[in-house]
């Protein structure tokens, strides 16, 4: 790359000005002519039979234009995978968690809608409920879904090599159990939907989402509207973190109300509704048995995980298999067994979340620390010996084409002063390390990869059309930076149209770390196609060889002959006059093994490539209050190649805050009879910017052979490794292995007391 390349430069993000000024239009900001407002009636019971719904009082409220119940739906069950379709748009005869949608109202103003929703009379017969996996799996437990016996939603089973033989062969074997509580995303933007159905049969929908084409497909299927008449529109989005990929009843409710009234309908969730009725992160009970040789190398690992899935499937299959796969990508283990059970309970629906389960992530690394201690091996060395390397194949069959894990470990250890600090810190101080890896380019739910178009205007400016969505992580900027680099244009001269399913071609979505790898590659290819057309026109005019042409500073010039060139705008205009308009297209799909049963029994290439991250934190524990203060943090990631280092570092910070600072110290939901007691920011303890320690970011570039300009993904493997590093550091500081996450001050004080370390 030339030194003046845009790639690798921390240019300011293109979405910043509008967010800074407040001009960015988020879904709840949208106003449409004749728009109605929606209110939802939710279940007050964790489990109950619906005997009758009487909407007559609600319909009489002035301003009410429509009331919908299950009678207005086609009774179709929907879900991410065919075999986990278990949720009706609106329930017919049963509610399964407190907060479940029962009916909804559209009215000319919000007050009327909410008032009318409250006047819908529902007769319930309360049923016994279960709130945790052991109770739900117990003999005689109330059955939540008739067609899922034993309340078992999904069982993922992986068995590679000979685990029992491996344990026999091992020098040291340990078995530990770790648990973690439910957590939430707390996106800055609460969920909202605007739906507008017109007399021509077109449905427009705006909502915060991580996969517009997936949302469109789900709405198309459930409402029986062709895909090209369902337009999920671009809007600004205030965070996703795994919690916006899935499909929610809110979308159907808004769409159905719009179909019924023939008017646009806006539905805005309160913060409480966002917490309860979108998605939460699973709680887990995770048992891991590991056998290592004398040198600490893992020979065999057997893992069992019970996940509280709540009342419906959501992304059940992926959520149950991905934690294990992240682990197998990170650390070698020739013999591996995994049994993941996702269990129904009468609690809110659980989906994917950034760390994929703290018990899993934190547990494995904590156990490694314990075994390292028994073997007298330094924890960093223990990890180096087991670290995945380029060219290896994971137990389930994914080849790793680029891997900088050893580098992230070494560079983080060096920057954190591990050698000087580990075992040498004063009392109540500790240091811990975590490592993780995530898939990059992992399409699910949508066939094929990402596609992009490029067009040029006669003044030489370019427009890129891509289905990639930006949830706040900077994808819009990433796409523009890639295209601008190909065109040699300032970023300001590349306009982006994205994430509008009517306009943009297929794209799987900005989840599972594929926006840069998949969508970025499609844009790169489309831009290169357009650039080749520009060179073809210019080569004729300049009487030059097409291969010698370069694009830079709005000029097409001949390499080595800086005087010989044409303004880009002129070449574009020549193309228009000659009826050879510059119109680029590009398509990229990651090379993965597509198998229907993949999520239940993973086998083959999961993702074309993987990213790797290491976090080290140094903490001080206050023995009186249990408060943990992070004194130093180093985040290191092999992101392939950093297209925009400032954005990558921003993702480190966000991932560290969510996976480590919040996830391992404070964030957990409290419950009473299926009621979530802390659904708001006042009660649920999110870390604020003032709580955050200074972070030293280290970008490791393994230059992925397929990624756009070598790039993979930014920040996700840091989020997961942060959870692990916190757990290890607290153990190192206190000498106690806390096995229930988050490790709140209460738990620390209780632990210290139980171990007689404080009075």
Q: Residue 370 or residue 505: which is nearer to a second copy going by CB? A: 505
Counting contacts by CB under 8 A, is residue 11 touching a second copy? no
Judge whether 26 and 245 are in contact, CB under 8 Å.
no
Q: Residue 23 or residue 392: which is nearer to a second copy going by CB? A: 23
Counting contacts by CB under 8 A, is residue 608 touching a second copy? no
Sheet holding 429-440, edge to edge: 429-440, 609-621, 628-638, 695-700
Give the whole-angstrom CA distance, residue 685 versus residue 498.
34
**For residue 742, cis peptide bond before it (omega within 30 degrees of 0):** yes
Work out how close the CB of 520 gets to a second copy at its nearest, in angstroms, rounded to a whole number.
15
CB atoms within 10 A of CB 152: 16
Counting contacts by CB under 8 A, is residue 217 touching a second copy? yes
Lookup: tokens for 331 = 């650390």
Backbone angles phi, psi at 336, to 5 degrees: -145, 135
Counting contacts by CB under 8 A, is residue 672 touching a second copy? no
Question: CB under 8 A: which stretch of 57-65, 341-349, 580-588, 711-719 binds a second copy?
Answer: 580-588
Contacts (CB under 8 A) with a second copy, residues 482-501 = 492-495, 497
Contacts (CB under 8 A) with a second copy, residues 447-476 = 447-449, 451, 453, 455, 457-459, 461-463, 465
Angle between helices 745-754 and 716-734 (to 10 degrees): 30
Work out how close the CB of 81 gets to a second copy at its nearest, in angstroms, rounded to a whole number.
16
Work out how close the CB of 446 gets to a second copy at its nearest, in angstroms, rounded to a whole number.
8
Give the whole-angstrom CA distance, residue 244 versus residue 242.
6
Lookup: tokens for 459 = 């003044």
Counting contacts by CB under 8 A, is residue 260 touching a second copy? no
Q: How many chain residues interact with a second copy (CB under 8 A)?
A: 62
Work out how close the CB of 340 gets to a second copy at its nearest, in angstroms, rounded to a whole number.
27
Lookup: tokens for 288 = 């891991």
Question: CB under 8 A: which stretch of 12-20, 283-291, 549-557, 611-619 binds a second copy?
Answer: 12-20
Near a second copy by CB under 8 A: residue from 1, 2, 17, 705: 17
Q: Residue 508 or residue 626: which is nearer to a second copy going by CB? A: 508
Give the whole-angstrom CA distance, residue 371 versus residue 629.
26
Q: Residue 11 or residue 227: which is nearer to a second copy going by CB? A: 227
Counting contacts by CB under 8 A, is residue 29 touching a second copy? yes
For 529, residues 6+ apart whose C-beta sits below 8 A from its C-beta are 454, 584, 585, 586
Near a second copy by CB under 8 A: residue from 46, 382, 566, 589: 589
For residue 154, give Cα distances in angstroms to 18, 35, 47, 712, 758.
43, 41, 21, 30, 44
Question: CB under 8 A: which stretch of 248-256, 365-373, 502-510, 705-713 binds a second copy?
Answer: 502-510
Instruction: Indicate the length of the chain as a whole number.
Output: 759
Work out how close the CB of 579 gets to a second copy at its nearest, in angstroms, rounded to a whole number.
4
Q: Residue 18 or residue 165: which is nearer to a second copy going by CB? A: 18
Give the whole-angstrom CA distance, residue 571 versus residue 549.
13
Paired sense of beta strands 172-180 and 740-741, if any: parallel
Near a second copy by CB under 8 A: residue from 581, 645, 693, 745: 581
CB atoms within 10 A of CB 161: 15
Give the whole-angstrom CA distance, residue 493 versus residue 616.
41
Contacts (CB under 8 A) with a second copy, residues 262-291 = 262
Give the whole-angstrom CA distance, residue 24 versus residue 13.
14
Counting contacts by CB under 8 A, is residue 299 touching a second copy? no
For 541, residues 6+ apart whose C-beta sits below 8 A from its C-beta are 566, 571, 574
Work out how close the CB of 501 gets to a second copy at its nearest, in angstroms, rounded to a whole number.
9
Question: CB under 8 A: which stretch of 147-155, 571-579, 645-653, 749-757 binds a second copy?
Answer: 571-579
Backbone angles phi, psi at 115, to 5 degrees: -60, -45
Lookup: tokens for 475 = 């994808």
For residue 387, give Cα distances in angstroms to 223, 434, 553, 724.
48, 11, 44, 15
Q: Residue 157 or residue 580: which is nearer to a second copy going by CB? A: 580
Near a second copy by CB under 8 A: residue from 9, 11, 30, 593: 30
Work out how close the CB of 202 gets to a second copy at its nearest, in angstroms, rounded to a whole number.
8
Work out how close the CB of 484 gets to a second copy at its nearest, in angstroms, rounded to a whole number.
12
- The three-point CA angle 384-390-392 to 5° equals 90
- The three-point CA angle 191-447-227 to 5° equals 60
Counting contacts by CB under 8 A, is residue 31 touching a second copy? yes
Counting contacts by CB under 8 A, is residue 76 touching a second copy? no
Counting contacts by CB under 8 A, is residue 173 touching a second copy? no
Query: What does the per-residue mask of binding to a second copy show for 177-216, with x meaning CB under 8 A?
Result: ---------------------xxxxx--------------
Give the whole-angstrom CA distance, residue 62 versus residue 108.
9
CA-derived radius of gyration, the chain: 27
Give the E-state strand segments of 513-559 in sequence order.
549-552, 555-558
Give the whole-angstrom CA distance, residue 185 versus residue 246.
14
Counting contacts by CB under 8 A, is residue 328 touching a second copy? no
Work out how close the CB of 213 gets to a second copy at its nearest, in angstroms, rounded to a whole number.
9
Contacts (CB under 8 A) with a second copy, residues 429-448 = 446-448
Counting contacts by CB under 8 A, is residue 334 touching a second copy? no
Work out how close the CB of 691 gets to a second copy at its nearest, in angstroms, rounded to a whole number.
30
Q: Residue 435 or residue 605: which is nearer to a second copy going by CB? A: 605
Work out how close the CB of 566 gets to a second copy at its nearest, in angstroms, rounded to a whole number.
16
Work out how close the CB of 423 gets to a second copy at its nearest, in angstroms, rounded to a whole number.
52
Q: How far is CA 456 from the centre of its chain?
A: 33
Counting contacts by CB under 8 A, is residue 110 touching a second copy? no
Give the whole-angstrom CA distance, residue 607 versus residue 612.
14
Judge whether 195 and 204 are in contact, CB under 8 Å.
yes
Work out how close the CB of 589 gets to a second copy at its nearest, in angstroms, rounded to a whole number.
4
Counting contacts by CB under 8 A, is residue 596 touching a second copy? no
Paired sense of beta strands 462-466 and 494-498, if any: parallel
Contact positions toward a second copy, by CB under 8 A?
Answer: 14-15, 17-18, 20-21, 23, 25, 29-33, 35, 198-202, 217, 220, 226-229, 262, 446-449, 451, 453, 455, 457-459, 461-463, 465, 492-495, 497, 502-503, 505-506, 573, 575-577, 579-581, 583, 585, 587-589, 594
């Amino acid at each position: 790359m030339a030194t003046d390349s845009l790639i690798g430069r921390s240019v300011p993000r293109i979405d910043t000005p509008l967010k800074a000024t407040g001009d960015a239009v988020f879904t709840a900001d949208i106003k449409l002519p004749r728009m109605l407002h929606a209110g939802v009636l939710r279940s007050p019971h964790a489990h109950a039979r619906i005997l009758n719904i009487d909407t007559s009082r609600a319909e009489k409220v002035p301003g009410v234009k429509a009331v919908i119940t299950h009678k207005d739906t086609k009774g179709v069950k929907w879900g991410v995978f065919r075999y986990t379709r278990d949720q009706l748009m609106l329930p017919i005869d049963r509610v399964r968690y407190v907060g479940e949608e029962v009916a909804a109202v559209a009215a000319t103003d919000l007050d009327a809608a909410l008032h009318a929703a409250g006047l819908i009379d529902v007769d319930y017969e309360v049923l016994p409920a279960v709130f945790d996996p052991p109770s739900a799996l117990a003999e005689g437990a109330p059955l939540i879904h008739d067609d899922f016996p034993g309340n078992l939603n999904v069982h993922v089973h992986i068995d590679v090599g000979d685990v029992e033989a491996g344990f026999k062969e091992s020098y040291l074997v340990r078995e530990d159990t770790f648990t973690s509580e439910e957590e939430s995303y707390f996106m800055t933007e609460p969920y909202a939907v605007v739906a507008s159905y017109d007399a021509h049969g077109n449905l427009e929908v705006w909502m915060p989402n991580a996969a517009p084409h997936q949302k469109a497909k789900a709405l198309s299927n459930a409402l029986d509207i062709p895909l090209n008449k369902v337009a999920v529109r671009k809007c600004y989005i205030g965070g996703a973190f795994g919690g916006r990929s899935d499909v929610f009843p809110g979308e159907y409710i808004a769409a159905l109300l719009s179909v019924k009234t023939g008017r646009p309908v806006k539905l805005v969730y309160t913060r409480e509704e966002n917490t309860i009725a979108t998605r939460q992160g699973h709680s887990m009970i995770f048992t891991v048995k590991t056998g290592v040789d004398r040198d600490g190398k893992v020979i065999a690992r057997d893992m069992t995980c019970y996940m509280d899935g709540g009342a419906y499937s959501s992304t059940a299959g992926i959520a149950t298999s991905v934690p294990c796969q992240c682990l197998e990508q990170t650390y070698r283990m020739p013999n591996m067994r995994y049994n993941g059970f996702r269990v129904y309970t009468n609690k809110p629906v659980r989906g994917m979340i950034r760390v994929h389960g703290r018990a899993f992530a934190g547990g494995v690394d904590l156990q490694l620390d314990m075994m390292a201690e028994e073997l007298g091996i330094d924890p960093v060395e223990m990890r180096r010996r087991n670290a995945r390397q380029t060219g290896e194949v994971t137990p389930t069959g994914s080849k790793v084409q680029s891997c900088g894990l050893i580098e992230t470990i070494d560079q983080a250890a060096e920057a954190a002063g591990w050698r000087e600090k580990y075992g040498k810190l004063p009392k109540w101080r500790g240091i811990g390390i975590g490592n993780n890896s995530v898939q990059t380019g992992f399409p699910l739910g949508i066939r094929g990869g990402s596609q992009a178009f490029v067009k040029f205007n006669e003044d030489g400016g370019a427009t890129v059309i891509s289905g990639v969505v930006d949830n706040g992580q900077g994808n819009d900027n990433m796409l523009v930076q890639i295209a601008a680099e190909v065109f040699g244009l300032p970023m300001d001269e590349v306009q982006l149209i994205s994430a509008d399913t009517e306009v943009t071609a297929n794209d799987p979505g900005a989840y599972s770390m594929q926006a840069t790898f998949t969508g970025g590659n499609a844009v790169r290819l489309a831009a290169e196609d357009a650039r080749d057309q520009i060179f073809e026109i210019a080569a004729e005019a300049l009487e030059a060889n097409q291969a010698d042409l370069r694009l830079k500073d709005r000029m097409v010039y001949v390499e080595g002959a800086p005087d010989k060139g044409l303004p880009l705008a002129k070449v574009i205009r020549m193309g228009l006059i000659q009826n050879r308009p510059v119109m680029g297209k590009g398509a990229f799909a990651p090379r993965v093994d597509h198998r229907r049963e993949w999520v239940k029994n993973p086998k083959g290439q999961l993702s074309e490539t993987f990213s790797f991250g290491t976090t080290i934190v140094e903490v001080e524990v206050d023995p009186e209050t249990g408060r943990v203060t992070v004194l130093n943090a180093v985040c290191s990631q092999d992101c392939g190649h950093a297209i925009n280092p400032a954005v990558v570092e921003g993702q480190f910070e966000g991932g560290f805050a969510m996976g480590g600072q919040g996830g391992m110290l404070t964030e957990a939901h409290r419950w009473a009879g299926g009621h979530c007691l802390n659904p708001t920011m006042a009660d649920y303890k999110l870390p604020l910017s003032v709580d955050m320690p200074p972070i030293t970011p280290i970008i490791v570039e393994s230059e992925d052979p397929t990624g756009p300009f070598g790039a993979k993904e930014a920040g996700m493997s840091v989020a997961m490794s942060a959870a692990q590093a916190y757990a290890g550091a607290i153990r190192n500081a206190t000498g106690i292995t806390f096995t229930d996450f988050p490790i709140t001050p209460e738990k620390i004080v209780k632990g210290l007391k139980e171990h007689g370390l404080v009075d």
